[in-house]
Amino acid sequence: MVRVLIVCLGNICRSPLAHGVLRDRIAERGLAQRIEVDSCGTSGYHSGDQADPNTRRVARRRGVDLEWHRSRQLTDADYFEFDALVAMDRSNERGIRERLLPNADVQIVRYLDFVQDAPGPDMPDPYYGGEAGFDTVHDLVDAGADALIDWALTLQR
């Protein structure tokens, strides 16, 4: 079983949306026995909170249920329990790498590495924008989901 952890800052906007989309796509592709996905934030600002209302609204409109999601913060154990940590932007990647323990054997990549013709290296943070920003994030998450899943399958031990 390959375990993939999607990481953003607060785990209420970008990472839960990617978590939900990937979870659904993995199930649709019949890969639930081979890949598991989770999400967290580098900060604990929103620990225990549901995904942002705009995130849930955009996801629901596109057929993705996020009502089950509760935010959590990245832990030291995550570096050992997951095969890959997927950062939503360079700031999150730095936060992940700063906490990296010397004996951890985990791949660290950015989500937009899997999006062909990505608008840049960072998934935009829609938190302070309107609903259109959440739609943009959903579009980018959709665009990279299959490539990320295909890559994760190469990590299978």
Q: Indicate which CATH number applies to the domain containing 120.
A: 3.40.50.2300
- pLDDT < 70 regions, the chain: 157
Q: According to the model, what pLDDT value does residue 157 have?
A: 63
Q: Between 131-153 and 53-61, two packed helices, what is the crossing angle to 10 degrees?
A: 70
- In this structure, how many other beta carbons lie within 10 angstroms of the beta carbon of residue 83? 18
Whether residue 8 lies in the annotated active site: yes
- Residue 142, judged by CB atoms within 10 A of its CB (0-12, 13-18, 19+), counts as middle
- Distance separating alpha carbons of residues 96 and 55, to the nearest angstrom: 23
Assign 86 to helix, strand or coil: strand
Choosing from 38, 83, 89, 125, which is the catalytic residue?
125
Choosing from 13, 14, 25, 83, which is the catalytic residue?
14
The count of structural domains within the chain is: 1
Q: Are 116 and 143 in contact (CB under 8 A)?
A: yes
Q: Are 77 and 107 in contact (CB under 8 A)?
A: no
Predicted TM-score (pTM) of the model is 0.96
Q: According to the model, what pLDDT value does residue 76 have?
A: 97
Q: Which domain holds residue 112?
A: 2-153
Choosing from 8, 40, 78, 83, which is the catalytic residue?
8
- Distance separating alpha carbons of residues 152 and 149, to the nearest angstrom: 5
